Amino acid sequence: MDTVLPPVMNSRSLGIALTALCLTPAMHAVSVAPPAARVAVEEPMYVLFHARIQGVLRKVVGRIDGYSLDIPALTWLDVLPTSVAGVSFLAQGLAYDETENRLVFVSFDGWRTTFFARDFATGSWSVLFDDSTIVQMQELDIDHRGVGFAQHRGDQSCLRIDFRAQLVTAVAPVVATTGEAVTIAPNGRVVAIDPDTVMRSIDPVTGAVTTIGTTYLWNLAGLDFAADGRLFALIRPGQLFEVDPNTGALRLVGFVAGVQASGGGGKGAEGISIATRQPPGWSMSCTAGAATLVPFGTGAVGGAQFSLLGSGLPPGAPGFVVVSEVERAPWTSTLFAGELCLGTPIVRIGATLGAASPSGMFHTVLDLGLFPGPHGPVALVPGDVRHFQLWYRDVASTTTSSFSSAAEVMFQ
Amino acid sequence: MTHAHASLSAALAFALVGSLASAQTPPCLGPFQRVAPAIASPSHARMLHVTVHGANALARTQGSSAQGAANNIDAFRELAPGGPWVATQSWPLVGAQGRIALDGERAAIKRTDPAAFNEVVVYERQPTTGSWLQTFAVPVMNIYDPRLSGDHLVLPSPHDERIDIWLREASGAFTFEASIVSPDKQVQDFGFQLDVAGDRIVVTHSAYVYVYRRNVAGAWPLEIRIQPEPQFRFDWVSEPQLDDGRLIHLVRTTDGTSKGHAIWRLVEGPSGANALFDGVVWEGGLVSPFHWIQGPVAASSTAIQRLRDPACGTLDPAYTPLAVIGAGDGDLPVVDGYVCQLAGFAGPGNGEQISYDGRTLAIAVDEEVGAPRNNVHFAALLGADIDADRNCVEDSVEIAATPTLDRNVNGRLDSIEERGEEFCVPLAPNSVGMVATLRVIGTEHRFTSDLMALARGLPPGTFGVVAVALAPVPLPAQAMGPFGVCLSGSVGRYSAVQAGPDGVATTFVPLAALPTPYGPINAFLNETWSWQLVYRDGSVPGATSAVAVTVR
| Burial bucket for residue B403 (CB in 10 Å: 0-12, 13-18, 19+) | exposed
Q: How many other β-carbons are positioned within 10 Å of the β-carbon of residue A107?
A: 21
Do B316 and A255 lie within an 8 Å CB cutoff?
yes
Q: Is the pLDDT of residue A127 over 70?
A: yes
Q: How many other β-carbons are positioned within 10 Å of the β-carbon of residue A38?
A: 15
Do A219 and B317 lie within an 8 Å CB cutoff?
no
Q: Is the pLDDT of residue B429 over 60?
A: yes
Helix (H) or strand (E) holding B6: helix B6-18
| Residue to substitute from A217, A252, A259, A260, interface B, most B β-carbons within 10 A | A252
Task: Identify the domain containing residue A217 by its residue range.
Answer: 45-274
* Gap between the Cα atoms of B401 and A50, Å rounded: 60
Question: B369 touching A, CB under 8 A?
Answer: yes
Question: A235 touching B, CB under 8 A?
Answer: yes
Rounded to a whole number of angstroms, the CA Rg of chain A reads 23
Mean pLDDT, rounded, of chain B? 86
Could you tell me which residue, B316 or A234, shows the higher pLDDT?
A: A234
Residue A336 — φ and ψ, nearest 5°?
-150, 155
Question: A359 touching B, CB under 8 A?
Answer: no
Which pLDDT value is given to residue A215? 93
Predicted confidence band of residue A281 (pLDDT cuts 50, 70, 90): low
**A262: which residues sit within 8 A by CB, 6+ positions away?**
A52
Q: Model confidence over B138-162: pLDDT tens digits?
A: 998 888 999 999 999 999 998 888 9
Could you tell me which residue, A19 or B40, shows the higher pLDDT?
A: B40
Question: A241 touching B, CB under 8 A?
Answer: yes
Predicted confidence band of residue B376 (pLDDT cuts 50, 70, 90): very high
**B539: which residues sit within 8 A by CB, 6+ positions away?**
none
Which pLDDT value is given to residue B107? 98
CA distance A47 to chain B (A): 18
CA distance B284 to chain A (A): 20
Could you tell me which residue, B323 or B39, shows the higher pLDDT?
A: B323
Which pLDDT value is given to residue B11? 38
Smallest CA–CA distance from B318 into chain A, residue: A237
User: Across the interface, which of B43, B315, B370 has its CB nearest the CB of A196?
Assistant: B43
CA distance A263 to chain B (A): 10
Predicted confidence band of residue B308 (pLDDT cuts 50, 70, 90): confident
Which pLDDT value is given to residue A138? 72
B 377-406 residues with CB < 8 A to A: none
How many degrees, rounded to 5, is the angle at CA A333 between CA A13 and CA A375? Answer: 35
Contact A144, A280 (CB under 8 A): no
**A203: which residues sit within 8 A by CB, 6+ positions away?**
A189, A190, A209
Which pLDDT value is given to residue B145? 92
Domain boundary among A213, A245, A274: A274
Work out the average pLDDT over B381-410: 94
CA distance B366 to chain A (A): 9
Domain count, chain A: 2
Domain boundary among A254, A274, A294: A274
- Do A127 and A257 share a domain, yes or no? yes
- For residue B368, the chain A residues in CB contact (below 8 A) are 216, 218
Q: Quote the DSSP letter at residue B145.
A: -
Q: How many other β-carbons are positioned within 10 Å of the β-carbon of residue A296?
A: 18
Do B373 and A218 lie within an 8 Å CB cutoff?
yes
User: Across the interface, which of A196, A252, A257 has its CB nearest the CB of B315?
Assistant: A257
Which pLDDT value is given to residue B349? 55
- Do A50 and A29 share a domain, yes or no? no
Do B349 and A218 lie within an 8 Å CB cutoff?
yes
Question: A260 touching B, CB under 8 A?
Answer: yes
Q: Model confidence over A94-122: pLDDT tens digits?
A: 999 987 899 999 887 777 888 999 999 99
**A12: which residues sit within 8 A by CB, 6+ positions away?**
none
Q: Is the pLDDT of residue B223 over 80?
A: yes
* Gap between the Cα atoms of B101 and B355, Å rounded: 11
Which ipTM did the prediction report? Answer: 0.77
* Gap between the Cα atoms of A275 and A42, Å rounded: 9
- For residue B314, the chain A residues in CB contact (below 8 A) are 255
- Do A360 and A233 share a domain, yes or no? no
* Gap between the Cα atoms of B244 and B201, Å rounded: 13
Sign of the alpha-carbon torsion through A110, A192, A223, B62: positive
Size of interface A-B (CB pairs under 8 A): 47
- Do A256 and A205 share a domain, yes or no? yes
User: Across the interface, which of A218, A255, A260 has its CB nearest the CB of B314?
Assistant: A255
CA distance B22 to chain A (A): 18
Strand partners, B233: B252
Q: Give the rounded distance of the alpha carbon of A397 from its chain centre.
A: 31
Q: What is the CATH number of domain B416-550?
A: 2.60.40
- Do A181 and A246 share a domain, yes or no? yes
Q: Is the pLDDT of residue B522 over 80?
A: yes
Predicted confidence band of residue B200 (pLDDT cuts 50, 70, 90): very high
Q: Is the pLDDT of residue A303 over 80?
A: no
| Residue to substitute from A218, A236, A244, A247, interface B, most B β-carbons within 10 A | A218
Question: B314 touching A, CB under 8 A?
Answer: yes
* Gap between the Cα atoms of A64 and B271, Å rounded: 67
Q: Is the pLDDT of residue A30 over 60?
A: no
| 3 state DSSP class of A379 | coil
* Gap between the Cα atoms of A392 and A313, Å rounded: 8
Least confident among B15-19, B227-231, B393-397: B15-19
- Do A343 and A364 share a domain, yes or no? yes
Q: Model confidence over A36-74: pLDDT tens digits?
A: 333 346 889 999 998 888 888 888 999 999 998 888 999
Does residue A1 form part of some domain? no
Which pLDDT value is given to residue B380? 94
- Do A157 and A180 share a domain, yes or no? yes
* HSE value, Cβ hemisphere, 13 Å, CA-based, for A270: 25
* Gap between the Cα atoms of B474 and A259, Å rounded: 65
Strand partners, B261: B250, B281
User: Across the interface, which of A196, A239, A257 has its CB nearest the CB of B348?
Assistant: A239
| 3 state DSSP class of A17 | helix
Question: A190 touching B, CB under 8 A?
Answer: no
- For residue A195, the chain B residues in CB contact (below 8 A) are 43-44
| 3 state DSSP class of B404 | helix
N-terminal to C-terminal alpha carbon distance within chain A: 25
* Gap between the Cα atoms of A327 and B59, Å rounded: 63
How many degrees, rounded to 5, is the angle at CA A126 between CA A180 and CA A411? Answer: 85
* HSE value, Cβ hemisphere, 13 Å, CA-based, for B98: 21
Which of B154, B139, B59 lies closest to B378 in space, CA to CA? B59
Work out the average pLDDT over B14-30: 61
Which pLDDT value is given to residue A188? 65
Do A250 and B318 lie within an 8 Å CB cutoff?
no
Question: B317 touching A, CB under 8 A?
Answer: yes
Position A384, amino acid: D
A168: left (phi over 0), alpha (psi -120 to 50) or beta: beta
Q: How many other β-carbons are positioned within 10 Å of the β-carbon of residue B151?
A: 14
Does residue A133 form part of some domain? yes
Which pLDDT value is given to residue A8? 35
pLDDT-above-70 percentage for chain A = 78
- Do A34 and A54 share a domain, yes or no? no
* Gap between the Cα atoms of B512 and B496, Å rounded: 19
Position B372, amino acid: P
Domain boundary among A274, A300, A335: A274
| 3 state DSSP class of A86 | coil
Residue B397 — φ and ψ, nearest 5°?
-70, -45
| 3 state DSSP class of A95 | strand
Q: Is the pLDDT of residue B128 over 80?
A: yes
B244: left (phi over 0), alpha (psi -120 to 50) or beta: left
Smallest CA–CA distance from A261 into chain B, residue: B317
Work out the average pLDDT over A19-33: 34
Which pLDDT value is given to residue B122? 97
Question: B373 touching A, CB under 8 A?
Answer: yes
Q: Is the pLDDT of residue B22 over 60?
A: no
Predicted confidence band of residue B56 (pLDDT cuts 50, 70, 90): very high
Work out the average pLDDT over A144-169: 77
Question: B346 touching A, CB under 8 A?
Answer: yes
Q: Is the pLDDT of residue B249 over 90?
A: yes
Least confident among A231-245, A266-280, B24-38: A266-280
Sign of the alpha-carbon torsion through B278, B282, B285, B288: positive
Do B347 and A241 lie within an 8 Å CB cutoff?
yes
Predicted confidence band of residue B446 (pLDDT cuts 50, 70, 90): confident
- For residue B369, the chain A residues in CB contact (below 8 A) are 216-219, 235, 239, 241, 250
Question: A195 touching B, CB under 8 A?
Answer: yes
* Gap between the Cα atoms of A24 and A335, Å rounded: 6
**B508: which residues sit within 8 A by CB, 6+ positions away?**
B408, B449, B450, B451, B452, B453
* Gap between the Cα atoms of A196 and B372, Å rounded: 9
Question: A109 touching B, CB under 8 A?
Answer: no
- Do A78 and A177 share a domain, yes or no? yes
Position B75, amino acid: A
Which pLDDT value is given to residue A102? 94
**A155: which residues sit within 8 A by CB, 6+ positions away?**
none
Which pLDDT value is given to residue A154? 65
Question: A219 touching B, CB under 8 A?
Answer: yes
Which pLDDT value is given to residue B502? 94
**B6: which residues sit within 8 A by CB, 6+ positions away?**
B229, B277, B278, B279, B280
Q: Is the pLDDT of residue B497 over 90?
A: yes
* Gap between the Cα atoms of B362 and B216, Å rounded: 35
Q: How many other β-carbons are positioned within 10 Å of the β-carbon of residue B428?
A: 7
- Do A33 and A53 share a domain, yes or no? no
Question: B318 touching A, CB under 8 A?
Answer: yes
CA distance A151 to chain B (A): 18
- For residue A264, the chain B residues in CB contact (below 8 A) are 317
- Do A84 and A171 share a domain, yes or no? yes
- For residue A217, the chain B residues in CB contact (below 8 A) are 369
* Gap between the Cα atoms of B200 and B404, Å rounded: 32
Question: A196 touching B, CB under 8 A?
Answer: yes
| Residue to substitute from A180, A219, A255, interface B, most B β-carbons within 10 A | A255
Q: Model confidence over B258-297: pLDDT tens digits?
A: 999 999 999 988 777 899 999 999 999 999 999 876 678 8
Helix (H) or strand (E) holding A16: helix A13-20
Which of B179, B339, B348, B88 lies closest to A259 in space, CA to CA? B348
- Do A225 and A197 share a domain, yes or no? yes
Could you tell me which residue, B350 or A19, shows the higher pLDDT?
A: B350
Work out the average pLDDT over B419-435: 89
CA distance B368 to chain A (A): 7
Do A250 and B369 lie within an 8 Å CB cutoff?
yes
Strand partners, B77: B56, B86
Do A219 and B368 lie within an 8 Å CB cutoff?
no
| Residue to substitute from A194, A196, A214, A216, interface B, most B β-carbons within 10 A | A216
| Burial bucket for residue A72 (CB in 10 Å: 0-12, 13-18, 19+) | buried
* Gap between the Cα atoms of B235 and B251, Å rounded: 5
Q: Is the pLDDT of residue A378 over 60?
A: yes
Least confident among A152-156, A166-170, B75-79, B462-466: A152-156
Contact A220, A195 (CB under 8 A): no
Could you tell me which residue, A360 or A141, shows the higher pLDDT?
A: A141
**A108: which residues sit within 8 A by CB, 6+ positions away?**
A90, A92, A114, A135, A136, A137, A138
Q: How many other β-carbons are positioned within 10 Å of the β-carbon of residue B265?
A: 20
| Burial bucket for residue A161 (CB in 10 Å: 0-12, 13-18, 19+) | buried
CA distance A178 to chain B (A): 15
- For residue B315, the chain A residues in CB contact (below 8 A) are 255, 257
